Amino acid sequence: MSSLFPTYQRWELSAKSAKGCTLVDTNGKEYLDFVGGIAVCNLGHCHPNVVDALVKQAETLWHVSNLFQIEGQEKAASVLAEQSSGDYVFFCNSGTEANEAAIKLARKHTGKNHIISLANSFHGRTLGSMAATGQSKIHEGFGTMLPSFTYAKLNDIQSVQEQISSETAAIMIEVVQGEGGVRSIDQTFATQLKELCEEHELLLIVDEVQTGIGRTGKRFGYEHFHLSPDIITVAKGLGNGFPVGAMIGKEHLKAAFQPGSHGSTFGGNPLAMAVVNAVLETVFDESFLAQVEEKGKKFQGYLQEALQQSAAVKEIRSLGLITGIECHEPVAAFITKARELGLLVLPAGPNVIRILPPLVVTEEELQQAANILAQVVGHTTATVH
Ligand code: PMP
């Protein structure tokens, strides 16, 4: 009998150790970990640079984040500010918290409450970020949501426009809806959103928790769409598996947050910052990012080839190394079968298989995964070479 709240439907897999893209269970079975990318996406499991940085820091100083000058925090903030459209950074411990900080900053700066987010979006599980989430199944049973969110349709600018009022503070989007089925915004929508924000003086908040820090082959996913968000949130890949998040905001928002406005005991603590600096040094490198983009394209090709015969597959969508295979039927059984064959993948809604390999994945590993997926979804044994 477990003493844990049954909040998760866990797999019958007891993880023991992991290295690179491979995870090993307590029976010694090895899996290609193509869900690892959701949290340890950048450098794979137990990357020596990250381990070294963490161990060195663990031997030197662990403390709270908010009392002292912390060199690592200043350094990580300056890198994030330099490499993004933002100028100032607030560190926290998760994606949800980064979105809470974004919502609070947008409200405080504008003095307005209303935020338009998108149907089918996912922004987190705390009361604010849950209200921002455009999925009623996430809200169910938890009583009244923050009333100040409305949800527009993805890639439908008229639907956004109709919801704007004098009380609107911001528009909040993911450039690729991860939990929502690996669905991307399109360039027309992005351009029109930008124009709407300018016209109505609305803040643009981009949740890059799943797409940021190299996942799509760019530092941040919004770069693909030539956006310049006022607020960006990141987490997951920022810590390569270590719990950390960040909210990055433009210069004009700085004054809204003063000492006492917002805070976190551990957000930006020395251990987290040692990891973040090691991650950013490697990922924010042009040749590393170019490889991600290249591998993403190759993987898309392998999947097209491996799954072309499959009647189950409706569409394969990807941006860099975030990939969704939409099927005509529920994918739960495919995901279990893939695991039996040694490949870990996730669902994104009932009909989409979501694939997020670590960014250091090799071409051979991508081919191997495509071949396993062909066996699972394709009902064939086609082999990709
Ligand atoms: N935003 C997005 C886009 C996410 O995908 C997630 C997690 N799936 C979150 C926010 C919440 O992040 P966390 O679980 O770190 O709180």
Ligand 1 nearest atom to the CA of residue 208, by list position:
3
Tell whether residue 156 is among the known ligand binding residues.
no
Q: How far is the CA of 38 from the centre of ligand 1 (A)?
A: 9
Query: Can you tell me the ipTM of this complex?
Result: 0.99
In whole angstroms, give the CA distance from residue 49 to residue 240.
11
Ligand 1 nearest atom to the CA of residue 174, by list position:
3
Tell whether residue 265 is among the known ligand binding residues.
yes
Best residue among 100, 122, 177 to mutate for probing ligand 1, ranked by most atoms within 8 Å of CB: 122
Contacts of 63 (CB under 8 A, 6+ apart): 269, 270
Question: How wide is the angle at C-alpha 364 spanned by C-alphas 20 and 48, nearest 5°?
Answer: 20
Closest Cα to atom 10 of ligand 1: 123
Q: Which CATH class is domain 15-33+286-384?
A: alpha beta
Which pLDDT score, from 0 to 100, does residue 301 have? 97
Question: Residue 357: which of 314, 299, 310 has the closest Cα?
Answer: 299
Which pLDDT score, from 0 to 100, does residue 36 have? 80
Tell whether residue 207 is among the known ligand binding residues.
yes
Q: How far is the CA of 330 from the centre of ligand 1 (A)?
A: 23
Tell whether residue 96 is among the known ligand binding residues.
yes
Which pLDDT score, from 0 to 100, does residue 126 have? 98
Q: How far is the CA of 103 from the centre of ligand 1 (A)?
A: 14
Beta bridge partners of 183: 177
Question: Residue 239: which of 271, 192, 287, 206 has the closest Cα?
Answer: 271
Q: How far is the CA of 309 from the centre of ligand 1 (A)?
A: 34
End-to-end Cα, the chain, rounded Å: 46
Determine the residue type at 356.
L
pLDDT per position in the chain (385 positions), as tens? 889 999 998 998 999 999 999 999 999 999 999 998 776 668 999 999 999 999 999 999 999 999 999 999 999 999 999 999 999 999 999 999 999 999 999 999 999 999 999 999 999 999 999 999 999 999 999 999 999 999 999 999 999 999 999 999 999 999 999 999 999 999 999 999 999 999 999 999 999 999 999 999 999 999 999 999 999 999 999 999 999 999 999 999 999 999 999 999 999 999 999 999 999 999 999 999 999 999 999 999 999 999 998 999 999 999 999 999 999 999 999 999 999 999 999 999 999 999 999 999 999 999 999 999 999 997 554 556 6
Ligand 1 nearest atom to the CA of residue 178, by list position:
5
Closest Cα to atom 1 of ligand 1: 123
Closest Cα to atom 12 of ligand 1: 95
Ligand 1 nearest atom to the CA of residue 245, by list position:
15
Q: How far is the CA of 123 from the centre of ligand 1 (A)?
A: 6
HEC readout, the chain: CCCCCCCCCCCCCCEEEEEECEEEECCCCEEEECCCHHHHCCCCECCHHHHHHHHHHHCCCCCCCCCCCCHHHHHHHHHHHHHCCCCEEEEECCHHHHHHHHHHHHHHHHCCCEEEEEECCCCCCCHHHHHHCECHHHHCCCCCCCCCEEEECCCCHHHHHHHCCCCEEEEEECCEECCCCCEECCHHHHHHHHHHHHHHCCEEEEECCCCCCCCCCCCCHHHHHCCCCCEEEECHHHHCCCCCEEEEECHHHHHHCCCCCCCCCCCCCHHHHHHHHHHHHHHCCHHHHHHHHHHHHHHHHHHHHHHCCCCCEEEEEEECCEEEEEECCCCHHHHHHHHHCCEECEECCCCEEEECCCCCCCHHHHHHHHHHHHHHHCCCCCCCC
List the chain domain ranges. 15-33+286-384, 48-283
* CA–CA distances in Å: residue 303 to residues 145, 186, 292, 293: 40, 22, 16, 15
Closest Cα to atom 13 of ligand 1: 95
In whole angstroms, give the CA distance from residue 42 to residue 380.
32
Q: How far is the CA of 236 from the centre of ligand 1 (A)?
A: 7
Q: How far is the CA of 9 from the centre of ligand 1 (A)?
A: 18
Q: How far is the CA of 125 from the centre of ligand 1 (A)?
A: 8
Tell whether residue 360 is among the known ligand binding residues.
no
Measured from the Cβ of residue 325, the count of other Cβ atoms closer than 10 Å reads 27
Ligand 1 site, CB within 6 A: 94-96, 99, 122-124, 174, 178-179, 207, 209-210, 235
Q: Is 305 exposed, middle or buried (0-12, 13-18, 19+ CB in 10 A)?
A: middle
**Is pTM, for the whole model, over 0.95?**
yes
Tell whether residue 323 is among the known ligand binding residues.
no
CATH architecture of 48-283: 3-Layer(aba) Sandwich (3.40)
Measured from the Cβ of residue 13, the count of other Cβ atoms closer than 10 Å reads 14
Tell whether residue 33 is among the known ligand binding residues.
no
Ligand 1 nearest atom to the CA of residue 96, by list position:
16
Closest Cα to atom 5 of ligand 1: 210
Tell whether residue 208 is among the known ligand binding residues.
yes
Closest Cα to atom 14 of ligand 1: 95
159 token code pair? 């639907």
